[in-house]
A and B are shown apart, each in its own frame.
Chain A
Amino acid sequence: VSEPEIDVLVVGGGPAGLAAALELRRVGVARVMVVDREREAGGVPRHTAHTGFGLRDLHRLLSGPRYAARYVALAEAAGASLRTGTSVTAWTGPCAVGLTSAAGVETARARAIVLATGCRERPRAARLVPGARPAGVFTTGTLQQMVYLRRQPIGRRAVVVGAEHVSYSAVQTLAHGGATAVAMVTEHPRHQTFAAFRWVAAARRGVPLLTAACVTRIIGRRRVEAVEVTDLAGGGTREIACDTVVFTGDWIPDHELARRGGLAMDPATRAPRVDEALRTSARGVFAAGNLVHPAEAADVAALGGRHAAHGVLAFLDRGAWPQRAALPVLCEPPLAWASPSAIVDPRAPLPRGRFLLRTSAFRPRATLELRQDDRVLWQRRYRTLVPTRPIRAAVADLSAVDPHGGALRFALAGEPP
């Protein structure tokens, strides 16, 4: 068998993939190739026009498009080869994939692969929202591409489904595209973004926020004409006239390639199960970024990519891969997921020294615990846990973990089992 032509193949040229490639080149890995299926690399920040990017990884404040362009330039300057307009369509071997591009159909073999395929918002169909199927139903990602990348018309009156951070970004995008957000609808009792961002995006514009409510029907023949909103407490319904509906957030990792490769999956994140070094269950295959924590800010995804690069380097140097199955990291309700979703070596560093978690419901004054079997290994009090917002569990010391014990479990103290 001949040597692979690439050392590391990175699938996905967003912040995580580009940061991984950049770091791999920086530590001296010779042949690093990034493939991205879009015509331009950079990932989601390409069409996220507001500022707030780059603080934690590049130590400067940039808009999304500038941040994306900067990472592309950095990765190229570092000597990573970037192939855009190239889709990975299949696995052709343990560390080999099939590619399709305008240049033809090829295979690429690497010594290691980093999956950095990102995540997407849950679309209307997957939320099982009943009603007609007229034009005018989008996600924030689509809306941003229409407005910022292609200057397409988006309607005049929009209802935004969700009240998390990205939902307010959608309100800003609508305003930029000449549409008014006439209502925001969330199933939760409160919005989930920062008060300041809410004011900048929506409160100042007087966008009404309908809490404990849910869109239960879409009405319209060719274009959306209205939505029916149901009050979850009382069960009453009302119609809101609009020509656009934007479904925001509720992220799903773009895990198709991981699943095709038969990688062990974590049911909570719906991502490939990764350990502290961001190794998946397949030898030589790593996963990083919003694929494994849907969704964090771009700079957190990038730092995850950087962390994965060090795991990749260790693997390339020593060829060592865990023999023992990883201990899964699970969550008890109302906690929704934790990432990384497994631990192999309790002494090895976590990405940024912490687990990232989500809760599915608000919890004031909560005590988060990490348990194994009947032992509490770590705990910390939080003022409030907010759905869709990152919960950071900086478990500094995992040395009490029994590698032969049961799964690690995050739970809230005093929560009924």
Chain B
Amino acid sequence: MAIAEYVVETLAGAGLALRRRDTFQRARLPDLGEAAVRPYQRADLIAANGDYGRIVCHCERVTRGEILDATRATIPARTLDGVRRRTRALLGRCQGFYCFAEVAELVAGATGEPLPRLLALETP
């Protein structure tokens, strides 16, 4: 990315010695678009893990598997907004009418964040 190249140049110009790290783990975000086949449509994924067949957010067809994946990613989602942006859960036409409580419970369980904090009733 051009911005990254610019930052690298600027940092080098500012006198910081930069080395390539071979063990670097790339952060990969799931494909959120409709162009590719979504997990709820994939028999192979569901056969390997039934959670990809358990649709939690019905409007955006986000499965339990995808929400759990978001909380376990290289850079894990720790908040409901994070899960929203990673998975599209809660962002559909019903805006959580059907699934908010379930998503909140799922994310609280997976991240270990207590619910009052996840729901911003307490400051972290």
Q: Which residues of B contact A (CB under 8 A)?
A: 40-43, 46-47, 50-51, 53-55, 58-59, 61, 80, 93-98, 100-102, 104-105, 115-116, 119-121, 123
The answer to whether A102 has its CB under 8 Å from any CB of chain B is yes
Task: Let me know if B121 and A243 touch, CB within 8 A.
Answer: yes
Q: What residues of chain B lie closer than 8 Å to A139, measured between beta carbons?
A: 95-97
The answer to whether A324 has its CB under 8 Å from any CB of chain B is no
The answer to whether A318 has its CB under 8 Å from any CB of chain B is no
Task: Let me know if B46 and A146 touch, CB within 8 A.
Answer: no
Q: Which of A134, A136, A141, A152 sits near B97, CB closer than 8 Å?
A: A141
Besides A142-B101, A256-B59, 13 more A-B contacts (Cβ < 8 Å) are A37-B55, A38-B98, A87-B40, A87-B55, A89-B61, A102-B46, A102-B51, A120-B97, A125-B95, A141-B97, A142-B97, A153-B121, A256-B93
Task: Let me know if B40 and A89 touch, CB within 8 A.
Answer: yes
**Which A residues from 48 to 99 make CB contacts under 8 A with B?**
85, 87, 89
Task: Let me know if A104 and B47 touch, CB within 8 A.
Answer: yes
Q: Which of A38, A87, A125, A135 sits near B61, CB closer than 8 Å?
A: A87
CA of A223 to CA of B116, assembled, Å: 11
Task: Let me know if B121 and A104 touch, CB within 8 A.
Answer: no
Interface size class of A (residues with CB under 8 A): 35 or more
Q: What residues of chain B lie closer than 8 Å to A243, measured between beta carbons?
A: 121
A120-B94, A134-B120 are contacts. A153–B115 as well, Cβ < 8 Å? yes
CA of A145 to CA of B100, assembled, Å: 9
Q: What residues of chain B lie closer than 8 Å to A125, measured between beta carbons?
A: 95
**Which A residues from 92 to 138 make CB contacts under 8 A with B?**
100-105, 120-121, 123-126, 134-136, 138
Q: Which of B43, B105, B121 sits near A150, CB closer than 8 Å?
A: B105
A104-B53, A153-B121 are contacts. A124–B95 as well, Cβ < 8 Å? yes
Binding site secondary structure of chain A: mixed
CA of A208 to CA of B96, assembled, Å: 28
Q: Which of B54, B98, B101 sits near A152, CB closer than 8 Å?
A: B101
CA of A85 to CA of B56, assembled, Å: 9
CA of A356 to CA of B66, assembled, Å: 42
Listed residue (A100, A126, A145, A222) with the most chain B CB atoms within 10 angstroms of its CB: A100
Q: What residues of chain A lie closer than 8 Å to B59, measured between beta carbons?
A: 256
CA of A222 to CA of B46, assembled, Å: 36
CA of A100 to CA of B119, assembled, Å: 30
A103-B50, A103-B53, A152-B115 are contacts. A222–B95 as well, Cβ < 8 Å? no
The answer to whether A155 has its CB under 8 Å from any CB of chain B is yes
Task: Let me know if A104 and B101 touch, CB within 8 A.
Answer: no
Listed residue (B54, B80, B101, B105) with the most chain A CB atoms within 10 angstroms of its CB: B101
Task: Let me know if B105 and A104 touch, CB within 8 A.
Answer: no
A135-B80, A153-B115 are contacts. A105–B101 as well, Cβ < 8 Å? no
CB distance from A175 to the nearest CB of B (A): 17
CA of A147 to CA of B95, assembled, Å: 18
Listed residue (A104, A139, A223) with the most chain B CB atoms within 10 angstroms of its CB: A104
Q: Which of A38, A126, A152 sits near B119, CB closer than 8 Å?
A: A152
Task: Let me know if B55 and A100 touch, CB within 8 A.
Answer: yes
CB distance from B92 to the nearest CB of A (A): 10
Q: What residues of chain B lie closer than 8 Å to A105, measured between beta carbons?
A: 40-43, 46, 53
Q: What residues of chain A lie closer than 8 Å to B120, measured between beta carbons?
A: 134-136, 222-223
Q: What residues of chain B lie closer than 8 Å to A134, measured between beta carbons?
A: 120
- 13 A-B residue pairs with CB within 8 Å: A87-B55, A89-B41, A104-B43, A104-B46, A105-B46, A123-B94, A124-B95, A135-B119, A136-B120, A139-B97, A145-B101, A149-B101, A150-B102
Q: Which residue of A lies closest to B43 (CB)?
A: A105
CB distance from A365 to the nearest CB of B (A): 37
Q: Which residue of A lies closest to B55 (CB)?
A: A87
CB distance from B112 to the nearest CB of A (A): 16
Q: What residues of chain B lie closer than 8 Å to A120, measured between beta carbons?
A: 94, 97-98
CA of A332 to CA of B19, assembled, Å: 73
CA of A43 to CA of B107, assembled, Å: 24
Q: Which of B53, B98, B105 sits near A141, CB closer than 8 Å?
A: B98
Q: What residues of chain A lie closer than 8 Å to B50, measured between beta carbons?
A: 102-103
Q: What residues of chain B lie closer than 8 Å to A146, measured between beta carbons?
A: 100-101, 104
CA of A152 to CA of B50, assembled, Å: 26
Q: Which residue of A lies closest to B100 (CB)?
A: A142
Task: Let me know if A102 and B54 touch, CB within 8 A.
Answer: yes
Instruction: Rank and list the top 7 A-B pairs by shortest CB-CB distance, nearest first.
Output: A102-B50, A123-B95, A223-B120, A145-B101, A135-B120, A222-B120, A102-B53
Listed residue (B51, B61, B94, B123) with the most chain A CB atoms within 10 angstroms of its CB: B94
